[in-house]
Structure 1
Amino acid sequence: MRPTLGILIRFKNSAATLPRVLHRLHAQTLRPHTILGVDTGSTDGSAALITQAGGSVVAWTQPYHHARVLNYGLTHLQTDLILVLSSHTTLDDDDALEQMCAAFENPRVACVSAKWDDDPYYSDAITWDELLVKGLKFGSIYSNSMGMIRRKAWEAVPFDETLLTAEDYAWAIEQLRLGHICKRLPLRFGYDRSGHDRTFEFAQLVFHFARRYKLHVAWLGATRSLQQMLKALVMPRPGMPSPAFHYQRLKAWALMRFTAASSFSGR
């Protein structure tokens, strides 16, 4: 029996992007059983776009918080599989949902999402053993911008509401630790969003997760990062990461070392 599929879309004033997102959902070869929108404070008619597309909407009236909004929305969906989709992310392959659902035929798969890039560092079926060998990278294992999860996996481990962001990264790591698999698929997608630079914020969380799970971080290291930062300052080249990029990661590493030392000394 084919598992049921629901779509969860968080939105706020997304009338400019939602029509395309919903159009691409309706173009899928596999239609979802239900679409649920979580309105986090829209004033531009976004909610009506969801209902006009055949979906339903619930309101989130508290301050926005990634994990809390997700957990709240997921309590209103009872389908076996749930695609968590941002209100600015389109699935550009007509069979994207079909491909994602097929991945769950393996009972060990907890989640699947589209690949952000062609970086071959991780396999397309990541396991805990692979993470132990390769460590944590400053990149995506699973993304709540366009990721499908198994409801039972979420029921056992909800998204961590102590985290302000990267709740998807933390959740995926925990699923791997429990013996599950995170799949990645080479799907085409559109991502129409701009935001502030989160290099430091994300690097800080990666170092935090690595320490929590006793994993190493797969990066250049402090010495080589400093060398690359100086090189980018003296001889900048097109396509080369900026000095600020390396500085933000070094700052996150230094803060991690300082907090670890402070904790050890009891200060």
Structure 2
Amino acid sequence: MVPPVVSIVIRTYNSAATLTATIDSVRAQSLPVEVVVVDSGSTDDTLRIAQERAERLVGIPHEEFSYGGALNAGAQAATTPFCGALSSHTVLPRPDWVEIGLEHLQAGAVAVCGGEVDGENRPLTAPLRADADYLGRYRYWGFTNTASMWRSEVWRAHPFDDSLVATEDQEWSWRAVTGGRHLVVDPRLTVSGSHRRGAGVRAYHHRMVREIRALEHVRPLGPYPATQALADWVRHAPSDPFVSPTRRFGRTRALDIVARWEAGRQGRRGRVPQPRLTPRAAPRRGTDGEDVRADA
């Protein structure tokens, strides 16, 4: 049997309803893959499913969960030269997903993920190579750990920031592409993002506000007046980078607009979200993890 060269880290928390389908989509890949599950205190059947279907199971205390920390824990447990993350609430859409991603990594990319639009919200029809200059110009676009792959050696040099309350993937990508490196966003690797809305409107709203405010360290949020919100509601391509280019007049567009307004209002009131913990020393190695609270 050919040993796997790719490990996929799946972060879980009470993910029993979806985890089997997620792992099955990994097992259906054209290349063998090592499955690493990082669980943050599940109380349903998640652990049983993981024990039966994954090569490795890592547990972290529920109260110590962070997106970056769980990913680091999973990446450290992985044994392959390439690693990746996959939401426990989604599935890989095609059997050559890992194979396509691996081709980009072996060709020189430090990381790869899917995407439907470029930094200017134009539809992607071919893989896009994004270096530090490109990510610097489009700070609110880019790498996502809903489904991604990266070089393990790059992760060892640049672990995920385990103190961030959200957007650990984008922050990591800015560090990973320094020194002339690049990542690839390939439309063929796009996975459904519907899991983000699966926990209901209230949870989606809180998540979006948290993610928007988590990027406050990049630059302060600008004002978002009612006139711009209305314009983003009706136009095909919203002008604000935090409003997704989904169907205009649709529910997701409306939720994004409300979350953007709320995040800006919190900023004006000085309510800056604090990191979950004082940043811990970055581990020398790490894996990936996901939590339903964050990836639902």
TM-score (structure 1 length as normaliser) = 0.77
Given residue 251 of structure 1, which amino acid in structure 2 is its aligned partner?
Answer: R
Q: Show the 5 A alignment for 1:115-194.
A: 115=115, 117-119=116-118, 121=120, 124-132=128-136, 134-137=137-140, 139=141, 141-186=142-187, 187-191=189-193, 192=195, 193-194=198-199
Mapped to 2, the partners of 1:232 and 1:90 lie a distance apart of: 31
1:206 matched to 2:210? The reply is no
Q: Which residue of 1 aligns with 2:48?
A: 48
Q: Deviations over 1:178-214 (max 9, x none)?
A: 4321211112424434333133322223331247xxx
Pairwise CA distance, 1:248: 2.7
Which structure has the highest strand share of the two? 1
After superposition, give the CA deviation of every residue in 1:32-67 in whole Å (9 maximum; x if it has no partner): 1x2111121122222222232252212112512211
Partner of 2:229: 229
Superposed counterparts of 1:33-112, under 5 Å: 34-63=34-63, 64-107=65-108, 109-112=109-112
Query: Alignment partner of 2:204: what SS?
Result: coil
**How much has 1:74 moved relative to structure 2?**
1.5
Partner of 1:238: 249
Give the 3 Å change call, closer, same or farther, for CA 178–164 of structure 1 in structure 2. farther
AA matched with 2:38: V
Contact 2:212-2:260 within 8 A present in 1 as well = no
After superposition, the Cα gap between the structure-2 partners of 1:85 and 1:232, relative to the gap in structure 1 and judged at 3 Å, is closer
- Unaligned regions of 5+ residues in structure 1, if any? 212-216, 259-267
**Relative CO higher for 1 or 2, CA cutoff 8 Å, sep ≥ 6?**
2
Change in 2 beyond 3 A, CA 1:18/1:249: same
- Name the counterpart of 1:263: none
What amino acid sits opposite 2:6 in the alignment? L
CA displacement at 1:175 relative to structure 2: 1.5
1:196 aligns with 2:207: no
Check 1:175–1:45 CA distance in 2 against 1; reply closer, same or farther (3 A cut). Answer: same
Unaligned runs of 5+ in 2: 122-126, 234-247, 273-296
Matched residue, 1:251: 265
Identity of aligned residues (%): 24
> CA, structure 1 residues 178+46, in 2 after alignment: closer, same or farther (shift >3 Å)?
same
Q: Secondary structure at the match of 2:153?
A: helix
Q: Cα deviation per residue 1:145-193 (whole Å; 9 max; x = unaligned)?
A: 2111111111101111221211111101111234321211112424434
- For the Cα contact (< 8 Å) 2:158–2:172, is it kept in 1? yes
Separation in 1, partners of 2:267, 2:12: 33
Structure-1 residue corresponding to 2:285: none
- What does residue 280 of structure 2 align with? none
| Cα displacement (A) at 1:97 | 0.5
Shift of 1:230: 6.1
In structure 1, distance between residues paired with 2:24 and 2:57: 17
Aligned residues, how many?
A: 240
Q: CA RMSD in A?
A: 3.1
Post-superposition CA distance 1:105-164 (Å, at most 9, x none)? 222x2111121x3356277211112234x3422x4x111121111111111011112212
